[in-house]
Amino acid sequence: MTTVIREFQDGDAEAVVALWHAAGISRPWNDPARDIAFARRDPHSTILLIEREAAVAATAMVGEDGHRGWVYYVAVDPLLRDLGLGRAIMEAAERWLIARGVWKVQLLVREENGATRHFYEHLGYRDTRTICLQKVIGENAG
């Protein structure tokens, strides 16, 4: 079985958005197309994919802000879970950050999502006991 890890390319959007919906990680208040465009706007962020047999099987949106790395939109095709793809896409995201000199990576997990929290804890991520505050700004904020 052919498995490839690569960066998002033109033409991947439809398959990526479909995966995000199938994996249950998209939210009505986040426009996936807008988030994809935002991640691709400069070299400080990207979307990584795992392709299995030419189909998108996993994703991670990864970026750095000059101080920390962040990972979003980690998704694995529900039919391909428990094959190590989640670990593989997270390792790819970490390698992407390390290559840019980033030494600390952060991510957000919804409090009620215990299974996902357990997955990240198994990979060595820890609760920092901090509170994330958010404010939506801008005319076209989503």
pLDDT tens readout for residues 98-141: 999 999 999 999 888 899 999 999 999 999 999 989 898 987 65
pLDDT tens readout for residues 58-91: 999 999 998 899 999 999 999 999 999 999 999 9
- Domain positions in the chain: 3-108
Angle made by CA atoms 119, 87, 10, in degrees to the nearest 5: 120
User: Scanning the structure block, which residue is given the tokens 């400069």?
Assistant: 42
DSSP code string of 12-53: -HHHHHHHHHHHT---TTS-HHHHHHHHTSSTTEEEEEEEET
CB atoms inside a 10 Å sphere around CB 90: 23
For the domain made up of 3-108, give the CATH fold: Aminopeptidase (3.40.630)
Instruction: Indicate the pTM of the whole model.
Output: 0.91
